[in-house]
Structure 1
Amino acid sequence: MKRFYGILLALLLAVFAISAYASDTPLGAGDALKISVFGNPDLSLETKVSEAGNITFPLIGNVNVNGLSTSDAEKKISGLLIDGGFLRNAEVNILVTELQSQQVSILGQVLRPGRYPISGTRNVTDMLAVAGGVGPEGGDTATVVRTRDGKTTKQVINLVEMIQSSDMKENLTLINGDMVYVDRAPKFYIYGEVQHPGGYRLERNMTVVQALSIGGGLTPRGTERGLRVKRRDTSGSVQMIDVKNDEVLRPDDVVYVKESLF
């Protein structure tokens, strides 16, 4: 029983939070509304805003509420009821029970990519948490695309550095239509005389010797002498370079481990 009341309380708080935010948020397609008129229970209505931004209300028919705040929508319905001669006084109350018109897209390497309703003031880390957080293939960075005053901008933020430094100025506030894309983590590749050749996640400042460890170490025939890396330069050409154990790897580097001659 306690569990039931706990769940009920959580649901009520969630509805209240959505409603409080929605009072200042323009209504739009998909928003679920609960409408009541004081003293007139027969006019109570639960409905959703149509794609055209309309609701159908008893006595007055279609009412366009698209772009209106809940208080403005209440005044509009009240005015239509009074002007139509249906009521002398119409005290209308609108409760937003589901906010679908205000959404952001969380895409890329998150556990649950998709579009999510945004209620209240929400920033990048808030919405990443809603999407389940960064997935196992996710990297340190996220690209945020926002449109403000008709101008679209793109900003890449380093999530790890932001959190480690506690400098949250890049934890951007999101509004309807914004998109967050979590980039895939960079990889390196290792082949030749290693136990487990293949592609692996490249951690920051990873060295060649660390890469050898991730690859399971050398085979009995392998040697750390003459290690080589295939690396693509700024022009796109692939170069084969000799490296030492403390060489820091770059994204898409390919480490080659030679066979010992002795």
Structure 2
Amino acid sequence: MGYRIGSGDTLNIRVYGQEDLSGNFIVDGSGNISMSLIGTVRVAKLTVPEISRSIERRLSQKYLRDPSVSVQVASQRPFYILGEVQSPGGFPYAAGMTIQTAIALGGGYTPRANQGDVLVTRRSSSGTHSVLMPVITPLYPGDIVYIKERWF
């Protein structure tokens, strides 16, 4: 299935033999990028190969004969950690992260934090869902992690 692109991701796009069309492109809040010649390209919810084919198709319609396009994810959208951590906020995502590593990046728990399961809000193709998860659960780009307060 592959990683689905979303707003906040940065794509490194290379068009073979066309340095003016190549570069890094940040996916805007609408899920689009803007490229020379072809304008706005919808990339949200697409995989890297799908984006490559879409750009090749649009370039070949009017501008280039048999274009070759390479797309890579340069950086993924950040995740957010809120609630009872020392330094809540947005942080860059790195592959292989778990909720536990997110808590560490947020400076660890506050003295009032509930150190049990954590509320994670995640967007998927079927919508946005909030679920209680253990701290060993893998984290994904764009996740919102909320550490609840414990009751004595």
What SS does the aligned partner of 1:106 have?
Answer: strand
Change (3 A) 1:26 1:153: closer
**Cα deviation, residue 139, structure 1:** 4.4
1:124-176 deviation per Cα after TM superposition (whole angstroms, max 9, x unaligned) = 2121122222234434334323557558454375xxxxxxxxxxxx6223335
Give me the whole-angstrom Cα distance separating, in 2, the residues matched to 1:173 and 1:146.
13
Whether contact under 8 Å (1:30, 1:49) holds in the other structure is: yes
Sequence identity, in percent?
A: 29
More helix by proportion, 1 or 2? 1
Out of 15, 19, 32, the residue aligned to residue 41 of structure 1 is 19
Hey, what does 1:99 align to over in structure 2?
76
Out of 76, 89, 104, the residue aligned to residue 129 of structure 1 is 104
Give yes or no for the alignment of 1:90 onto 2:55: no
**Cα deviation, residue 97, structure 1:** 2.3
**Cα deviation, residue 81, structure 1:** 0.9
Whether contact under 8 Å (1:106, 1:127) holds in the other structure is: yes
Whether contact under 8 Å (2:81, 2:145) holds in the other structure is: yes
**Cα deviation, residue 72, structure 1:** 1.2
**Larger RCO of the pair (alpha carbons < 8 Å, separation 6+):** 2
Change (3 A) 1:122 1:73: same
Whether contact under 8 Å (1:55, 1:63) holds in the other structure is: yes
1:89-132 deviation per Cα after TM superposition (whole angstroms, max 9, x unaligned) = 211122322322xx443222212212334343432212112222
What SS does the aligned partner of 2:55 have?
Answer: helix
Change (3 A) 1:94 1:116: same
Give yes or no for the alignment of 1:25 onto 2:34: no
Matches within 5 A, 1:33-72: 33-72=11-50
Structure 2 length normalisation: TM-score?
A: 0.77
1:8-49 deviation per Cα after TM superposition (whole angstroms, max 9, x unaligned) = xxxxxxxxxxxxxxx932112222222211122122233211
Unaligned runs of 5+ in 1: 1-22, 158-169, 187-250, 252-262
Hey, what does 1:175 align to over in structure 2?
140
Whether contact under 8 Å (2:88, 2:106) holds in the other structure is: yes
The one-letter code of the counterpart of 1:25 is Y
Change (3 A) 1:50 1:182: closer
Matches within 5 A, 1:1-262: 24-84=2-62, 86-100=63-77, 103-146=78-121, 152=129, 154-155=131-132, 157=134, 171-176=136-141, 178-184=143-149, 251=152
